Amino acid sequence: MTEAEAADGRLMSDREDALDHTYRETEGPKPCRRIVWRNVFSMTALHIGAVYAIFLIPSASPLTLLWSLLCFLISALGITAGAHRLWSHRSYKASLPLRIFLCSANSMAFQNDIYEWARDHRVHHKYSETDADPHNASRGFFFAHIGWLLVRKHPDVIEKGRKLELKDLLADGVVMFQKRHYKLSVVLMCFLVPMLVPFYLWGESLWVGYFIPALLRYTLVLNATWLVNSAAHMWGNRPYDVTINPRENKFVTFSTIGEGFHNYHHSFPYDYSASEFGCGFNFTTWFIDLMCSLGLAKDCKRVSGEMVRSRVQRTGDGSHWSG
Ligand code: ST9
Ligand code: ZN
Ligand code: ZN
């Protein structure tokens, strides 16, 4: 083992997002799939509403479309820079004002509260592609993408999740405040703010304001996020570790403002850039760097070039840019 690999091992040993190689799935028949019809109906209605919203686009004012893009970016950051890189992986530290912004942006994304999101995401990293992974991609594209939200969880997800260390989340007042007032924060941030800003500021109709910056934008952010669980666990190269499923997927990188370097991310989950590279194709990293330069974030964790090289040589699939 090289020194770099030993250092990587030390960094990963006490982390809740490190892959647990000791877990074994229970042998024998799998538990029955229990469909949650309420979720099937609400997700179907949401997607029908989003398709209808696409046809409304020509009647929206250019300002409303720009606003929708801004809402997309803000809610995406609430997931990428917030729930993911900050709260799930603790890959950098954020000041109170930044945490309040990220938490509000996270409610705009309406993907479960930060506590639940980060807990499930740590279980995903630790038990990736097994029964204990909430969106186990070995159950196919549909299950990993949306199907996992339409059925009861596998008992192992809950059992393993209950053993995770979540003290940092419980100790974060912003996370706990959001958990207590989650429904209200979603109504306000995901629906009312996106709909009312165009209505009051430039006279857009409430109908268009509801369907485009609120509903369509929400559905797009959801699907972009889910692509990380589905597409980026199935299609793309594995330059860092060919023994795991997650892959580098350019389309997902683009649609998720920098979260498609998924083979790298599962290999080094504590890297604040979630990529070997800096800001290139990574708006989230650019945003965190900006926050650091404004004094609102600090202590960004990064993997050394030496550590990356030694991992590439040991477990990569040979497609790494360094040849
Ligand atoms: C959504 C989340 O979309 C998306 C997350 C995606 C993650 C992607 C990660 C990719 C990387 C980052 C890239 C970001 C890119 C962003 C790009 C942006 C452009 N451990 O849940 P229940 C307990 S949400 C421990 O009801 P069921 C739980 O606490 C969309 N405990 O399970 C409870 O305990 P108690 C909107 C756990 O009944 C009990 O178990 N939201 C764990 O199986 C029952 O919990 C929805 O659609 C755990 N891991 O139901 C709602 N899990 O009784 C979806 C559970 O003591 N959720 N527990 O209170 C549901 O309706 C349900 O959770 C269910 C499962 C039906 C799915
Ligand atoms: Zn993953
Ligand atoms: Zn992650």
pLDDT of residue 4: 61
**Structural domain spans, the chain:** 3-18+34-315
Mutational test site, ligand 1, from 16, 110, 153, 183, max ligand atoms within 8 Å of CB:
153
Ligand 1 centroid, distance to 176 Cα (angstroms): 17
Ligand 1 centroid, distance to 23 Cα (angstroms): 21
Is any ligand 1 atom within 6 A of the Cβ of residue 80? yes
Is any ligand 1 atom within 6 A of the Cβ of residue 259? yes
55: Cβ contacts below 8 Å, ≥ 6 apart: none
pLDDT of residue 199: 98
Is any ligand 1 atom within 6 A of the Cβ of residue 169? no
Q: Is 0.85 topped by the overall pTM?
A: yes
Is any ligand 1 atom within 6 A of the Cβ of residue 157? yes
Strand pairing category for 297-298 and 93-94 = antiparallel
CA angle 270, 112, 285 (to 5 degrees): 35
Count how many Cα atoms sit within 13 Å of the Cα of residue 70 in the half-sphere of its side chain. Answer: 11
Per residue of the chain (323 residues), what is the pLDDT tens digit?
666 666 666 666 567 788 888 878 788 778 889 999 999 999 999 999 999 999 999 999 999 999 999 999 999 999 999 999 999 999 999 999 999 999 999 999 999 999 999 999 999 999 999 999 999 999 999 999 999 999 999 999 999 999 999 999 999 999 999 999 999 999 999 999 999 999 999 999 999 999 999 999 999 999 999 999 999 999 999 999 999 999 999 999 999 999 999 999 999 999 999 999 998 899 999 999 999 999 999 999 999 999 999 999 999 999 998 87
Q: If you take atom 53 of ligand 1, which residue's CA is the nearest one?
A: 158
Q: The dihedral of CA 164, 168, 174, 177: what is its sign?
A: positive
Mutational test site, ligand 1, from 117, 126, 158, max ligand atoms within 8 Å of CB:
158
Ligand sitting nearest the alpha carbon of 268: 3
302: Cβ contacts below 8 Å, ≥ 6 apart: 271, 272, 273
Ligand 1 centroid, distance to 153 Cα (angstroms): 8
Bridge partners, residue 298, by sequence:
93
pLDDT of residue 18: 82
Q: Dig out the tokens for 100 from the structure.
A: 């309040």
User: How many whole angstroms separate alpha carbon 218 and alpha carbon 221?
Assistant: 5
Ligand sitting nearest the alpha carbon of 107: 1
User: How many whole angstroms separate alpha carbon 39 and alpha carbon 25?
Assistant: 27
Is any ligand 1 atom within 6 A of the Cβ of residue 76? yes
Is any ligand 1 atom within 6 A of the Cβ of residue 147? no
User: How many whole angstroms separate alpha carbon 257 and alpha carbon 140?
Assistant: 24
User: How many whole angstroms separate alpha carbon 306 and alpha carbon 47?
Assistant: 45
User: How many whole angstroms separate alpha carbon 301 and alpha carbon 79?
Assistant: 18
Is any ligand 1 atom within 6 A of the Cβ of residue 152? yes
Amino acid letter, 229: N
Q: What is the atom index within ligand 1 of the atom nearest the CA of 123?
A: 49
